[in-house]
């Protein structure tokens, strides 16, 4: 992809679009009030039989009860006559993990379906704790071709079985402050050198403004950074012992340690603290999940006109970026398999899935991305569409049931390098000493 093409993929968000978002809350309230009786017909025909006897479905999801999600539940209850017991997933990942692992490992009978991430789908799926969903796909005639294929086959399936239907798409792209760029007279960078140059032009340390935000804290966020940058250099988080990956790691550290276009505190910054920095006009660019756009759009006093996005600049090897998703899985030990399947079929419907735009998220079905309403309320969808059309620019993380072990090993050692405890070579060697046996074990079994 040429430099020009990359630059043309940037789209400032207009004020008009923003005002529409502001009205979305009210619009949604009206919508949910009148949409219920005229619920869209199901894609499949499997839903009807269960109408006979009302049942209780237990699900776990990450949202509060006043969220758009209550509308989804109401619609489901209306259509099927069943009751949904809805549990809020803990916001802290460690807690969420402890809760779900305990339940699944114990053969829990009180949870039917839950919203899972890439790592959980692979790990829990491999453990046999999730029900394969192929029968659901057939029963409810779900057209998997409408999903980004990598989300279906690379991060929702393991060993040939599908354990999750992706619900919300998550892709990491660059966000930037249009006003800062305008002021400095620069346009979005197209390669790594460009990134440093433009970052330098945007940085004003005395004013507390930095060219780029980096969230390099351990606990998954650094792992994603490692995966992204080493991948662009020709390596990967599980393949660090090569020149491309080394160059990428050195480049990443230089952003704050040498070029000073990111704050020195980068290794302790996380999403929350970068977000606070973003709201305090501290940063000009940030590579992160597109859900950030949703958070931005609903922040009323915030610059809808000042934030836009561009696709990641070209690295030494490629211009790819990370993609992933959250989606619905069925608990294998649940006694309500059919009911849970019905929920999966229901949420996979385009009209149901689309409602995630009311919290600014892009639904996982590609056909929805061109929908004007989706483009309005989930402002990253045009960029995702561009990525999809360009082809080959998004890449899922190398998810296997061992992904967590690999992430931990890479994060700990690279973090030690980023905080000046060890040299790059030491970090890479130590990380791969941990990772190689894991990869060998996985190949063996």
192-231 positions binding other proteins, by CB under 8 A: 208, 217-219
Q: Can residue 429 be called a binding residue for other proteins (CB under 8 A)? A: no
Are 431 and 410 within 8 A, CB to CB?
yes
Do the Cβ atoms of 55 and 334 come closer than 8 Å? no
| Footprint of other proteins on 16-45 (CB under 8 A) | none
Spatial contact of 112 and 336, defined as CB atoms under 8 Å apart: yes
- The H helix count followed by the E strand count for the chain is 19, 12
Residues 56-75 that bind other proteins (CB under 8 A): 62-67
144-163: which residues touch other proteins (CB under 8 A)?
A: none
CA distance readout (Å), 278 to 143, 207, 275, 292: 39, 14, 5, 11
Contact pick of 8, 14, 45, 98 for other proteins (by CB under 8 A)? 98
Residue 108 makes contact with other proteins by CB under 8 A: yes
Binding flag, residue 305, other proteins (CB under 8 A): no
Q: Which stretch binds other proteins (CB under 8 A): 43-51, 138-146, 184-192, 418-426?
A: 418-426
- Whole-angstrom Cα distance, residue 100 to residue 127? 13
For other proteins, the binding residue among 115, 164, 253, 359 (CB under 8 A) is 359
Q: Please, which residue, 227 or 402, has the CB nearer to other proteins?
A: 402
The secondary structure of residue 270, as a DSSP letter, is -
If the CB atoms of residues 50 and 268 are measured against other proteins, the closer one turns out to be: 268
> What single string gives the DSSP state of each residue in 13-75?
PPHHHHHHHHHHHHHHHHHHHHHTTTPPPPSSSTTGGGGSS--EEEEEESS-TTSTHHHHHHH
The minimum distance between CB 166 and other proteins, in angstroms, equals: 16
With tokens 């969230």, the residue in question is 215
DSSP-derived letter for residue 192 is H
**Cα gap 213→277, rounded to integer Å:** 9
Per CB under 8 A, the list member of 229, 292, 343, 383 interacting with other proteins is 292
Among 320, 353, 401, 410, binds other proteins (CB under 8 A): 401
Lookup: tokens for 358: 């009311």
Token pair in block for residue 428? 């890479």
Q: How far is the CB of 422 from other proteins (least distance, A)?
A: 7
- Regarding 180 and contact with other proteins (CB under 8 A), the answer is no
- Contact stretch for other proteins (CB under 8 A) within 11-19, 75-83, 299-307, 345-353: 299-307
Cα of first residue to Cα of last residue in the chain, in angstroms, is 39
Pick between residue 30 and residue 91 the one whose CB is nearest to other proteins. 91
Among 301, 372, 391, 443, indicate the residue that binds other proteins (CB under 8 A): 301
The footprint of other proteins on residues 117-136 (CB under 8 A) is: 123, 126-129
- Chain positions 228 to 267 lying near other proteins, rule: CB under 8 A, are 263-265, 267
């Amino acid at each position: 992809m040429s430099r020009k093409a990359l630059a043309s993929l940037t789209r400032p968000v207009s004020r008009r679009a923003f005002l529409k978002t502001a009205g979305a809350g009210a619009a949604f309230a009206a919508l949910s009030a009148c949409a219920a009786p005229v619920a869209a017909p199901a894609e499949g025909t499997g839903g009807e039989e269960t109408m006979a006897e009302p049942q209780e479905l237990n699900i776990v999801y990450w949202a509060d009860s006043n969220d758009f999600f209550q509308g989804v539940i109401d619609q489901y209850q209306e259509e099927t006559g069943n009751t949904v017991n809805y549990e809020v997933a803990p916001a802290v990942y460690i807690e969420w993990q402890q809760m779900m692992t305990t339940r699944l490992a114990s053969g829990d009978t009180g949870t039917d379906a839950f919203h899972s991430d890439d790592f959980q789908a692979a790990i829990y799926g491999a453990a046999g704790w999730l029900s394969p969903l192929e029968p659901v796909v057939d029963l409810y005639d779900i057209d998997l071709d409408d999903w980004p294929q990598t989300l279906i086959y690379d991060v929702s399936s393991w060993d040939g079985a599908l354990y999750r239907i992706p619900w919300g798409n998550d892709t990491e792209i660059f966000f930037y402050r249009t006003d800062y760029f305008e002021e400095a007279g620069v346009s979005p960078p197209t390669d790594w050198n460009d990134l440093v140059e433009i970052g330098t032009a945007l940085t004003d340390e005395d004013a507390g403004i930095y060219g780029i935000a980096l969230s390099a804290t351990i606990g998954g966020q650094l792992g994603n950074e490692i995966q992204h940058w080493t991948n662009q250099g020709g390596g990967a988080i599980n393949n660090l012992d090569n020149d491309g990956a080394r160059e990428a790691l050195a480049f990443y550290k230089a952003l704050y340690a040498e070029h000073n276009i990111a704050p020195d505190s980068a290794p302790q910054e996380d999403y929350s603290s970068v977000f606070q920095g973003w709201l305090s006009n501290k940063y000009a660019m940030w590579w992160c999940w597109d859900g950030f756009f949703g958070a931005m759009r609903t922040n009323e006093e915030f610059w809808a006109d000042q934030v836009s996005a561009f696709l990641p600049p070209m690295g030494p090897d490629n211009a790819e970026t990370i993609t992933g998703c959250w989606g619905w899985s069925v608990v294998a030990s649940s006694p309500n398999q059919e009911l849970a399947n019905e929920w999966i079929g229901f949420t996979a419907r385009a009209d149901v899935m689309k409602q995630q735009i009311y919290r600014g998220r892009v639904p996982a079905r590609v056909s929805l991305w061109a929908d004007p309403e989706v483009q309005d309320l989930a402002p990253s969808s045009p960029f995702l569409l561009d990525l999809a059309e360009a082809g080959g620019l998004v890449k899922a993380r190398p998810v296997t049931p061992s992904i967590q072990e690999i992430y931990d090993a890479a994060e700990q050692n690279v973090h030690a390098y980023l905080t000046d405890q060890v040299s790059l070579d030491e970090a890479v060697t130590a990380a791969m000493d941990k990772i190689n046996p894991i990869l060998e074990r996985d190949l063996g079994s």
